[in-house]
Amino acid sequence: MRALFPDAIGLLLAETVLPKGPSDKLLEEGDMLLKVNDEYVNRFIRLEELLDESVGQLVKILVQRGFDEFEYSIKVGDKHAITPDRYVHVCGARFNTLSYQLARAYNVPVQGVYVCEQSGTLLSNLTQFRFVPA
């Protein structure tokens, strides 16, 4: 990689692998990305382009973990399909499906219900619970 990208100062690493996501049980935190669809990649912009072009399709990923290389075929998900587009308002509180962004922040699967606004009669009952499994 240094020979291919002499001006680069680092590689792309897997930072978070969401439970029950497309790469769960395949990628591990700290895996170094080498190739996507047989193309060497070392910048986020190119990675995003390749993933955007492949939504709903399989991409071939080559990563290095320690001294070993692993190749996986992973289906690229559609972030718009898992982005909440409606909510329910009950007794002053608002609920929506859990978003990718929150799932990533809490490292939980993208599933279930999220209490996005606590209010009214449900306020005291929901202060300890934010995620409700589907």
Q: pTM of this prediction?
A: 0.74
Is residue 61 within 8 Å of 35, Cβ to Cβ? yes
Per-residue pLDDT, 97? 84
Beta-carbon contacts of residue 62 (< 8 Å; ≥ 6 apart): 33, 34, 35, 36, 69, 70, 71
Report pLDDT for 124: 57
Q: Are 70 and 14 in contact (CB under 8 A)?
A: no
Give per-residue burial for 78-112: e unless 16+ CB within 10 Å, then b: eeeebebeeeeeeeebebbbbbbebbeeeebbbee
Residue 9's pLDDT band (boundaries 50, 70, 90)?
confident
pLDDT of residue 123: 61
11-61 pLDDT tens trace:
899 998 989 989 999 999 999 999 999 999 999 999 999 999 999 999 999
Superfamily of structural domain 1-77:
PDZ domain (2.30.42.10)
Q: What is the pLDDT of residue 121?
A: 61
pLDDT digits (tens, 9 = 90+) for 75-130: 998 888 888 887 788 777 888 888 888 888 888 888 888 887 777 666 655 444 45
**Domain-wise residue ranges, the chain:** 1-77, 80-132
pLDDT score at 128:
47
Query: What pLDDT score does 130 carry?
Result: 52
Residue 25, CA atoms < 13 Å, CB-side half-sphere:
3
Determine the Cα–Cα distance for residues 104 and 100; give it in Å rounded to an integer: 6
The residues, any chain, with a CB within 8 Å of residue 93's CB and separated by 6 or more, are 115, 117, 118, 119, 120, 122, 123, 126
23: left (phi over 0), alpha (psi -120 to 50) or beta: alpha
Average pLDDT over residues 1-15: 85
